[in-house]
A and B are shown apart, each in its own frame.
Chain A
Amino acid sequence: MKRNALAILVIALVVAVMIYAGVRSSRGPKTTAVIGNPEPLQPNEAKGKQAPDFSLQDLDGRPVKLSDYRGKAVLLNFWATFCGPCKEEMPWLVELQKQYGPQGLQIIGVALDDSGKDTIVKYVKQMGVNYTILQGQDSVGDAYGAIGLPATYYIDRNGKIIDSALGLVSRGEIEDNIKKSLVEDKAQTASAGAKAKS
């Protein structure tokens, strides 16, 4: 009797897995721009984790990988043209790119937008954006756990997320996080240099 119950449970499991696989495959193949199939980050739990690498096209159609910026501090900002709070912080990001770019900051805006490339190009031009804008894919937002917009991730020169924020925060908070990442980067570089000498 126990043997039968166990066998039935195994059969039920096999059938359930087959149904699950069928449901998954019926949804069609998901294209992903995320590189290396990392475990998706949970919202508000990105701090301290390695930033998932991805490859997306910029507004000229050139492929850009996050890892291309290794060695720079990256402010990764998910946004959309329909997002009012995103519009509010864009001028701040323009100023901050100007101010901290020479120290090694690169701001990357990932447009999670269905409105099409032309609309994004027009919007970005109108806002005077001076930093890199990429045409986003949902898979990248999902990999970062970006459930809302704007979603901002502060990534150090080694590709580690040192902090993140969902929604509009103050300019001061954004700037503090940029400074923190630049300082931490210097500290890490110094530590790495000392280890190499010893």
Chain B
Amino acid sequence: MIAVLESRLIPAGSPATLRTLKSFALALFLLIATIGFAADEPKLAHVYVTFEGSSAATIVPGRPTAVDLHFKVKDGFHVNSNKPKSELLIPTVLKLDLPTDLAAGGIVYPVGKDVSFPFDPSEKLNVYTGDFTVKAKLAAAHAASAGNFTVHGSLRYQACSDNACYPPRDAPVQFDVHVSSAASRAHRGNAQSPHIK
């Protein structure tokens, strides 16, 4: 439909054609970007935990490697640890969507801090505040392709301030890992072998 309209409005071979098409593309991009941004949820004001990046990770196939994933809790807020003290409390949980060449070998959560809050000074909750790091153990199959892989995931958390709590949210997580090539595998394997003198 757009192509038909354009062909009627913009004479073929006109010197203004390219410029007009560029204007059209720019206008369309700006409109879509505006709409997309407005519709995007959650709004920044409702974000209580952010992913701050990961440690550099090179994975040797067949050998699980821990990747440090750094998170930050917004000042004035706390989130339940992975092992909150009550079954009613929602734990912080990391979920990773791994490329087919990679597999998860377990996730290690930090130990939370026991803290009491003004809304109930008699009870201590096990929480994360400020910066915390989750370790994700990743492994590559022996037949895995060498190269860089992007891992996507999310951290599910439920945040509270000193006097209010907020519905559970997901902090998006994205980081890159490098799976070493066959040559470097052999090299690393030899270098670490106890039989080589």
Contacts and interface: CB of A to CB of B under 8 A. Distances in A.
A141 to B, nearest CB: 8
Interface string A20-32: 1001100000000
B98 interface: no
The size bracket of the interface on B is 20 to 34
A114 interface: yes
The size bracket of the interface on A is 35 or more
A81 B39 contact: no
Nearest to B27: A12
Interface of A: 1, 4-5, 7-9, 11-13, 15-16, 19-20, 23-24, 80-88, 112, 114-115, 119, 123, 138, 147-150, 166-169
Interface of B: 2, 5-6, 9-10, 16, 20, 23-24, 27-28, 31-32, 35-36, 39, 46, 88-90, 117, 119-120, 123, 125, 158, 160-161, 163-168
4 closest pairs, A vs B, by CB? Answer: A167-B164, A16-B31, A167-B163, A148-B164
A7 B36 CA distance: 23
Contacts of B16: 1, 4
B158 A82 contact: yes
Contact of B119 (A1, A166, A168): A168
Given A4-B9, A16-B31, 15 more contacts: A5-B20, A19-B35, A81-B88, A82-B90, A82-B158, A83-B160, A84-B119, A84-B165, A85-B119, A85-B160, A147-B166, A148-B166, A149-B165, A167-B161, A167-B163
